Every structure is written in C-alpha cells, then in structure tokens.
Structure 1
C-alpha cells in the first residue's frame, strides 16, 4: 500500500562552523517514520575572523548568504512546503547577526529564528535521543560548536541539567592557538585547561551531583574523532545514528593531534581540512571533561539540533 504524506519540511541549522540542511517527507500515518530526501552540510565557518571580536567577518557573511541561497534552491527542487531555520552562537552574539538574519530573509525568503543557548541545548538533547538509547541512567551530552558548547545531563525521559557556554572551538582557537601552522604547544594545552577549569565550574558541580555514566558527543568534532577511529572520512549520508568511540581510540587521536602540525593533521585519515585545527582545541576540551568526570564510555551521535527540530515537528 502506498503511504500518503501530508507535507515536506526543511530543517536548517545555521551553526558557527557548519550549516546543515535536512529535508524530509512527513507521514500522515501515526507511528510511521519520515522519509529523508536530503541530508547535507556546508562548512561556512561563520565565526572565522570575527566571532571573538563580536562580529561576523565580511567573507563569512558572504559565505552564509551564498549557502542559504543554495539551500533555498534545494527546498524548491524538493518541493518543500515548510522551512524551519534556527541560528545559534555566531548570529546570537555578534553585532551584525540581526543584519544577516534580515539579509537572509530578503534574499531567500527564509525566516531564521535565533535561539538562546538553553533552547539549543534542549533541541540537541531531543535530537540525540533519536540516535542513542540513553535508558534510565544519566548521560552527559556534549555538543562542541564553533561559538558555544552545550552540556546536558539527561536520560531517555528527563533532562536533569543543561547549560550553554560561549567557549566554542573557534573561540578556543582564537584564544589559545594563534599560530595554526605549527604544533599546539604544551603551554597552550595547559592554558586552555586552566581556562576550562575556571569557566566550567557549573558543569563540574552538576556531574558530581548527577554522576553521568557515559559521554555522548553530538556531531561536529565527535564525528571527526569517529572517522579517525575508522580511518576514513565518511560522507554525511553514510553516517550511522551513533558510533561507539573507544576511549583508547580517542586517546590515540588526541596524541596524534597534539604532536602534528597543520599539514600533518590535514593528512590524518578522517579529518576534514576545515576541522584540522579546531579539532585540537576541541580534543583538549573533551579530554578535560573526561578527566573531571572519570567517564570511560564515549558514544558519538550523528543527530543533534536539526533532528531535535524534526522530532518536535513529528509531534505536531
């Protein structure tokens, strides 16, 4: 029997590093799964060259408009009837973020909702739950964006604690890694760790209280670490909902990242060139979190904010 569908929806996540587009056909039959028509992403690097100064740089601004124009063309090609677009840290905190939102609407007709960090964390948790069975024990969910990092402690039914910190990978790169052509020195690692110990006090208190049994890393840097474990870069369409990332694999990748220069990192199997430097500061952050929580099990979730938006749409 042919399944009937009521509408097609496009979900767009305008992240600080990457813009994501997910187009699905929503079923009318209760309990049926949506059909994925397109899942793609573009490395826009919206925070590059400006986020630490509170502005979206001209080149990044242009890349954003170009990418959204392409996304709009995809929605028309797939006969999308509804678009939901959300923007996070880079547009949320920069002085010209509202201007970019206006220009996106004027040039594409796409209305972008700029969401606060708490809402971002909630949507990430909802998305991760579609990929990883959290069960009844609390897990620490972590999403490392370019502008902000979201931490959520949750099980499959309840969010116990959540907080967004404006310490994303682009910000950490700007602050602690001024020379990306070379090796990340031990002094820079120590400086980043000291900084994290100061700003992540609320996280350390929450993990001490709730005692999460595992770490679930959402997309981005965690996908790259899973690709390094596999030894090859997986295309977006090939990513499984989740991957078990062995602690030994993370530790080996961490050592490689710290001991390599930029060209050597780019050559490592599984690394996107745009992530070659950001992944270093992100790995320092992950190592710090593992150290203060004593967590030994890591899972990576290919689902995050846009899948959270989809899960909410399916409830309507």
Structure 2
C-alpha cells in the first residue's frame, strides 16, 4: 500500500471564473479518482481591461487573492501535484506574464498559459467525462469570458475545433455599454451580424459535418441549467449533465432581453456576476441554435479542468 496517495489540484484560471478541483488518485487502477474539493470563484479577470489587452489593477489583485485562497485549500488537503492553466485573458494581456510571475512568487504555483486549440481539446476531454456523446457528431461549445471554443466531435474523435475571441466579457464591452438597462434591439441585431461574420469558419464546418445537437459547457450554460431549475447550485451540487429544454432556454432569453439589470439579478437561478454577461452569451447561443437548426441542448458541468484530469489519468 502506497503510504501517501497522489493528490492532484487542478486550477483553471478563466477570464470570468477561477476553478479549483482537488482529487485523490485511486491506488487500484481503473477506479475513478475520489473528489475532495470542487470550488470556483468569480474573478472577472477580463473586467475593465480585456478589450484593451491588459488585466486591470482591481482584477489583477482579485486574481492574486483568489489563487492565494486556493493555495490554502491545496495545503490543507496535502496535495502532491498542482496543475494550473490560464486561458484567454492571460493569453492576450500584456501584463499576463507578470501575473504568472507574481503567482509563482507568492504561492509556488506555476501557471501554464495555453493556446485556444489546446483549450478546445481539453474542454472536449472534460465534456466526454460528463456526457456520453456516442457515435453521432455533436457541436460542443464553451462560452468563456474571453474566448468561446467550438468543437465538432463524437465520443472518440474530434473532427473540427476552433477557439474564437468572442467571450461574454468581450461581447459585453463591444455591444452593451453602458450596461444598466435593457439591451436595445439594434445592439442585439449588431451582435448577431457580427457573429455571422466572425463565425463563418464554424458555419462552414457545421455544413460539412452536420452535428445533431448542442452540448454546452462552462459558466453561461451552468447558469442556464440553474435557471431552468430556479436554484443557484454550487459547483459540487450540479450533476455532470443536464438536459436543457429548448423552451426553457427561449423563455430565459426573452426575460434577459426584456428586463433591466436589477430584475435580471433577481431571476431565480441567476448567478449575480453573470446577470449582464448572460445576455450577450445567450444571444450567441441562440444564434448558434437558430443558424444551425439545433433543437437539443445538453449542458456539461465538466469542462477544461476535468479534461486536464482525464489527460493526467491517461498519461
């Protein structure tokens, strides 16, 4: 018997949310890892700066504060290995490398800033742990704060993947400022027109591979699943996969487009940090559903960090 079981901490530093997953690896091969902690923090790393190519001072200090908090949990759980990745906001910010250095100096955690294509692969690996895709092709979609990944895949093969710098924080900065009231119809139309241009490569891929359904992962989809239920759930309370009824999504979209900020915050199941971003993200999701004629939506509670875990277990 191995005296000290391997304990892994997986950190996903997204543009909106930082995630921490701590697992103990089984001593018997073939057993699933035992989950010790699953938590997230709304950091809004992209707020006030992502569209200008830098991390704003307030966001920078929130990031350091959050990682220091994660480090306390990692120490409490006697973790033996830490794997930390950062995505869109850190990829494009001129002070991203400085933040990586500061995190290392303060916590000893080495953050790897990963490219969009690699992010898409890990997201796919994570989704496959939650959803059995089977032999049919599905469109996988992860709406982040900085980027949105699209993958066309089944359970065994990725046929196409691309990361687009159209995350919810960027869409918010571009189409909805100042953000206090109802999104004007002209802004909704402008976002849809913009998406039609930017997503041309996706449109071509969908025409070629004809995916049968949409599988969504990450913040906006988690919140849509919570809103269908009318309850905000913690990361640990969400089941791996939720069937999101098209009618539920459409009714949420109508609400989001017709309500003011305070009213959106008050919607059952709404995560307050997401009350504005969910508007532009839902227009993006709706664009994808209507343009590509998809009527089935599943949401995956697993994404990038579970993909990292899957990779480490296989490796």
Task: Flag the 1:155–1:5 CA change in 2: closer, same or farther, 3 A.
Answer: farther
Instruction: Give the match's secondary structure for 1:228.
Output: helix
**2:213/2:294 contact within 8 Å kept:** yes
Structure 1 residue 165 and structure 2 residue 155: aligned? no
CA contact (8 A) 1:223 1:300 kept: yes
Q: Deviations over 1:196-223 (max 9, x none)?
A: 0010000000011100001000021001
- Matched residues in 2 for 1:4 and 1:95: separation? 44
Match for residue 259 of structure 1? 258
Change (3 A) 1:26 1:290: same
| Distance in 2, Cα, partners of 1:295 & 1:272 | 26
1:184 alignment partner in structure 2: 183
TM-score (norm: length of structure 2): 0.99
Q: Confirm or deny that 1:232 pairs with 2:222.
A: no
**Partner residue in 2 for 1:291:** 290
| CA separation of 1:5 and 1:142: change in aligned 2, threshold 3 A | farther
- Indicate conservation of the 8 Å contact 2:147/2:164, yes or no: yes
Tell me which residue corresponds to 1:110: 109
Given that 2:216 and 2:299 are in contact with CA atoms closer than 8 Å, whether structure 1 keeps it comes out as: yes
For 1:1-316, list aligned pairs within 5 A.
Answer: 6-316=5-315
Closer, same or farther in 2 for the Cα pair 1:110/1:297, shift >3 Å? same
Query: Structure 1 residue 4: deviation in Å?
Result: 7.9
Residues in 1 aligned to 2:54 and 2:112: alpha-carbon distance in whole angstroms: 18
Shift of 1:234: 1.1
Runs (5+) with no aligned partner, structure 1: none
Structure 1 residue 295 displacement after superposition: 0.5
Task: Report deviation, 1:151.
Answer: 0.2
Task: For structure 2, list consecutive stretches of 5 or more residues without a partner in the other structure.
Answer: none
**SS of 1:6's equivalent?**
coil
Residue 282 of structure 1: how far off its partner (Å): 0.1
- Contact 1:56–1:97 (Cα < 8 Å) also in 2: yes
Report how many aligned residue pairs link the two structures.
Answer: 315
> How far apart are residue 6 of structure 1 and its match?
3.2
Supply the distance in 2 between the matched residues of 1:26 and 1:5 (Cα, whole angstroms): 10
Q: Secondary structure at the match of 1:284?
A: helix
Whole-angstrom distance in 2 between the partners of 1:144 and 1:69 = 26
CA contact (8 A) 2:144 2:218 kept: no
Partner SS for 1:110: coil
CA distance in structure 2 between the aligned counterparts of 1:80 and 1:180, rounded to whole angstroms: 42
Q: Counterparts of 1:215 and 1:66 in 2: how far apart (Å)?
A: 35
Q: Contact 2:10 / 2:22 at 8 angstroms: preserved in 1?
A: yes
Whether contact under 8 Å (2:5, 2:27) holds in the other structure is yes
Equivalent position SS for 1:130: helix
How far the C-alpha of 1:172 sits from its partner, in A, is 0.2
Distance, in Å, in 2 between the alignment partners of 1:232 and 1:24 is: 26
